[in-house]
Amino acid sequence: MVVRLTLGPSGAGRDRVARAVMDSPRLYGEASDPELLHWSAGGDRRAFGEVVTRHGPFALRVAARLVADTHTAEDLVQEAMVRAWSQAANFDPRRARFATWLYRIVVNLCIDHRRRVQPEPLPDNFDPVDTTPAADEALAASQRRAALAKALGDLPVRQRAAMTLVYDEGLSGAEAAQILGVSTKAVERLLARARGTLRGRLLAGGPGQEMEAC
Amino acid sequence: MLTLKRFATLAASYGADLDRWPEDIRGEANELLAASPEARALLEQARTLDTALVGNAVWQLGEQEAALVRLRIGVASRIADTAGLKPAQRPSWRLDLRWLGMAAGSGLAVAAGLAIGVLDVPAASSPDIVQIMFQPAPIDILAE
């Protein structure tokens, strides 16, 4: 006679345990990016909400520096996030970090947008003059900021992207290279060209004198 | 051994802040700076441009937070659309999202959420309007 022993809950009990495991709350805030994307691929929109919360600020900052206005930046980042959602099942964490993958989508959308749209020049009354006596210093600062914004905005978009990633967001040259899909040396060339142009635009003394990487 | 030519190239790319330079070369860069007046001069030249590049803020105070709220709402809506939720289950987007964003930026996010509708908020957690909107469960929305 054979006695079969059943360990653990049987039948309906097993189903209850399985449901309890499935229904246990996912700790979205503590989950890694690959986990969140894995859950998102399975249709978990709360998981993707955490993705948006976690990576949205960086994406918005980068996009806002690459395109003409913040409203367009928001639209492009939204599009990037929706594409990431639809492609979540295709993401392979062994091939790239999720952040690199996502930010590449953002940057590429911004680059494509810049190439399609000719940016509008700043209007003549962009920086209205304040004639109050105490406004001279504030005016000078405002003019410097406007000149900086204009000079940065006039850079070729890939140079602007390299500057944004390295100077504004603090990424290494290697990290920026992964997002841009180029070599680290190529990023250094982009940065050097951008700095050369900016030096000529922003500093007194004529054209940029900085050496460019070969 | 880091050459002066390579040092100049790196300064032209990364500027005067060695924290931006490749990590594996910073030690050699510091050694060269200690030994070479030319290297120090190159770094000072790069620093003048670095100073001019400061102050490139894109978002004013609160604007980025408001933009993030709008982003989360917009993404949630488009994801819900692609999931094929029935209209009664989808968040209502009749309010102008930029108004909502500005309200969020000025600290009125909760009030804006109450204006949108009645949401099933777990008692133990602080109300996160956008998080609720990412939930697949049906949401009762008050008509405008």
Q: What is the DSSP string of chain A?
A: -------S--THHHHHHHHHHHHSPP-GGGS-HHHHHHHHHTT-HHHHHHHHHHHHHHHHHHHHHHSS-HHHHHHHHHHHHHHHHHTGGG--TTTS-HHHHHHHHHHHHHHHHHHHSPPPPPPTTSS----SGGGHHHHHHHHHHHHHHHHHHHS-HHHHHHHIIIIIS---HHHHHHHHTS-HHHHHHHHHHHHHHHHHHHSSSSS--PPPP-
Please determine, for residue B144, whether its predicted confidence score (pLDDT) is greater than 50: no
Query: Which residue in B has a C-alpha nearest to residue A68's C-alpha?
Result: B58
Please determine, for residue B33, whether its predicted confidence score (pLDDT) is greater than 50: yes
**Residues with pLDDT less than 50, chain A:** 2-3, 17-18, 20-21, 125-126, 206-214
Count of CB atoms situated within 10 Å of the CB of A167: 23
Measured between beta carbons, which residues in chain A are less than 8 angstroms from residue B55?
Answer: 141, 144-145, 148
DSSP state at residue B120: -
Measured between beta carbons, which residues in chain B are less than 8 angstroms from residue A155?
Answer: none
Query: B89, B88, B113, B86: which is closest to B99 by C-alpha?
Result: B113
Query: B88, B102, B82, B92: which is closest to A45 by C-alpha?
Result: B82
pTM over 0.90? The answer is no
* Pair B28, B2: CB distance under 8 Å: yes
- B72/A82 Cβ within 8 A: no
Q: Model ipTM?
A: 0.73
Please determine, for residue B62, whether its predicted confidence score (pLDDT) is greater than 50: yes
* Residue-level pLDDT at B120: 37
Least confident of A45-49, A105-109, B88-92, B111-115: B111-115
Portion of chain B with pLDDT greater than 70, in percent: 56
Portion of chain B with pLDDT greater than 90, in percent: 44
Give the closest of B12, B55, B56 to A213, CB-based: B12
Tokens representing A21?
A: 């495991």
* Residue-level pLDDT at A147: 86
* Residue-level pLDDT at B122: 39
* Residue-level pLDDT at B90: 56
Give the closest of A73, A74, A198 to B49, CB-based: A198
Please determine, for residue B138, whether its predicted confidence score (pLDDT) is greater than 70: no
Interface residues on B facing A, Cβ-Cβ cutoff 8 A: 8-15, 20, 22-23, 45-46, 48-49, 52-53, 55-56, 58-59, 63-64, 67-68, 70-72, 74-76, 78-80, 82-83, 98, 130-131, 133-136
Please determine, for residue B65, whether its predicted confidence score (pLDDT) is greater than 70: yes
Mean pLDDT (whole number) for B39-61: 86
- A189/B75 Cβ within 8 A: no
CA–CA dist A15, A30 (Å, integer): 27
* Residue-level pLDDT at A208: 43
Determine the distance in angstroms separating the CA of B144 from the nearest CA of chain A, rounded to an integer: 25
Give the closest of A45, A73, A168 to B134, CB-based: A45
- Specify the higher pLDDT residue, A192 or B119: A192
Determine the distance in angstroms separating the CA of A93 from the nearest CA of chain B, rounded to an integer: 22
Mutate to test the interface with B, among A48, A51, A195 (most CBs of B within 10 A): A195
First-to-final CA distance of chain A:
84
* Residue-level pLDDT at A204: 63
Give the closest of B13, B75, B76 to A188, CB-based: B13
* Residue-level pLDDT at A145: 82
* Residue-level pLDDT at B129: 53
* Residue-level pLDDT at A111: 93
Give the closest of B8, B46, B64 to A60, CB-based: B64
Query: Which residue in A has a C-alpha nearest to residue B8's C-alpha?
Result: A211
Mutate to test the interface with B, among A72, A175, A210 (most CBs of B within 10 A): A210
- B135/A60 Cβ within 8 A: no
- B56/A149 Cβ within 8 A: yes
